[in-house]
Amino acid sequence: MTRPAPFWTASGFAVLALVTLVLPAVGEAVFSPARQISAYILVLVSVGLIFHGLLSLWEKLPTPAMLVLGAVAAALGFPAAFLSRPEALAEEPVILSLLALLLANAFRLLAATALAYALARHVTSPGVALLIAGVATVSDLFSVFAGPTRALVREDSPALDFLLLIFPTFGQPAGFALGISDFIFLALFAATSRLLNLRYPLTLAAGLAATLLAMACGLLLERPLPALPFISVSFVIVNANLLLAALRKPR
């Protein structure tokens, strides 16, 4: 039996709450690649459930209402992100900072999904979808290795507190981070595949797996890697034949 959209959404937020509030208290704060990757997987499972639930739940929601909902979620998420900065997570009582972190991430995931779905409704052809994937990959690579993102990280800019979603790992409240843009494009490609009748479930699963691969490779190389190129490539790979077939159709 197919589960209703609210079930998947609630399940995703429940897993996110479990990860945020429980994981820092489980085990000692000792680095282990296996434990780190396990934390990655738990977070991405929660994100996948949230995205799937919201994309189904908001299917008939008008775009203006969706954008307003996203703006309200962002307005609530950014102050919570300020209250759950890494330095705040290192202070006592940690539970208050973790609650703020949960709200910050939950609201920003809502905002990312709303913006992504609204944008996806304007992606009316496979050609546009491929163009977005290509431009996103090139721009993110430039930003991370030579552009704005590199400058923000080098200067340890306070803006990073709002542009990065921080997630706990085993024994640590501030375990790892992912950029808000990664979640926007992950939801965008999933929504686009849904609206263009591509391989939606596989696109979402592949995007999550690609994000995991990017983080695992970064762990192996001992340096952060941009996840967006991995996500973009996964979208193209799982839908390659459908995209090409649609492009070859006579107009």
Give the three-state DSSP class for 58: coil
Most confident of 19-28, 85-94, 100-109: 100-109
User: Is residue 151 over pLDDT 70?
Assistant: no
Name the one residue in this structure whose structure tokens are 């307003």: 68
pLDDT digit string, tens, across residues 182-231: 999 999 999 999 999 999 999 999 999 999 999 999 998 888 888 999 99
Q: What is the pTM of this model?
A: 0.92
pLDDT for residue 163: 82
CA distance 200 to 193: 5
The pLDDT of residue 46: 97
Number of domains in the chain: 1
Cβ-contact 116, 188 below 8 angstroms: yes
* φ and ψ of 51, to 5 deg: -60, -45
**Strand spans (E) along the chain:** 164-169, 172-179
